[in-house]
Chain A
Amino acid sequence: SQKIEQNSEALNIQEGKTATLTCNYTNYSPAYLQWYRQDPGRGPVFLLLIRENEKEKRKERLKVTFDTTLKQSLFHITASQPADSATYLCALDPASNTGKLIFGQGTTLQVKP
């Protein structure tokens, strides 16, 4: 069956450290993966998109990797801050370029000062 999985356990790290979140998928062949941030009671906010022919993409303190062999994407936040505390969702378009997104269950990150 098709699945997109993120670690459902909350990730607690100390301020200043690097947070690494994992997204694994099964039986999909996405042309790209997206990462979103969601705060409680709010809609998701787009962070980064990485295409299948890109191994890595960066935006300020954020870095995303995409390994189509492992069927995995890693999301890194360097020099983490308490304001980075939120739930992070990975998403993929199951049929490529339809615009429809299938989301993982999200990983909650807690950055402690």
Chain B
Amino acid sequence: GAVVSQHPSWVICKSGTSVKIECRSLDFQATTMFWYRQFPKQSLMLMATSNEGSKATYEQGVEKDKFLINHASLTLSTLTVTSAHPEDSSFYICSAGGARSGGEETQYFGPGTRLLVL
């Protein structure tokens, strides 16, 4: 089946540093990937749509200069949290479309990256 990986699975960093999270589609090509954030006991909130070869589109209220997205190839998108602060601590999850399951298009999600900013 379609597999999406994320790296790292968890990261702890100091306030003010930048953190890069990778999202890879392992066995299919994804022209579009999505980045979500999830706070404890809350649902997934869409942050941005990552488009291969073009600029990402961000949801309202998401700072594009703070959350840099690069979709360099059909199998890799990266999210960089720049100048991270404690309020950026969250669970970041990517998903990739373009895969089919039983004839239906759907998204496949990565396992998530837990970010803790001290």
Contact = CB atoms under 8 A, between A and B. Distances in A.
A103 B43 contact: yes
A9 to B, nearest CB: 12
A100 interface: yes
Contact of B34 (A45, A46, A100, A106): A100
B26 to A, nearest CB: 14
Interface string B87-118: 00001010101000110111111111010000
B114 A41 contact: yes
For this complex, into which size category does the number of interface residues on chain A fall? 20 to 34
B52 to A, nearest CB: 13
A99 interface: yes
A49 interface: yes
Contact of A45 (B44, B105, B109): B109
Interface string A25-66: 000000000101000011111100100000000010000000
A42 B10 CA distance: 12
Interface of A is mostly: loop
25 contacts: A41-B112, A43-B6, A43-B93, A43-B112, A44-B44, A44-B93, A45-B109, A46-B101, A46-B106, A46-B107, A46-B109, A49-B105, A49-B106, A89-B43, A98-B49, A99-B32, A99-B49, A100-B34, A101-B46, A101-B95, A101-B107, A102-B46, A103-B44, A104-B43, A105-B42
A91 to B, nearest CB: 8
A20 to B, nearest CB: 20
Interface residues of B, number: 26
B110 to A, nearest CB: 5
Most buried by A among B34, B109, B110, B112: B109
Interface string A67-103: 0000000000000000000000100000000111111
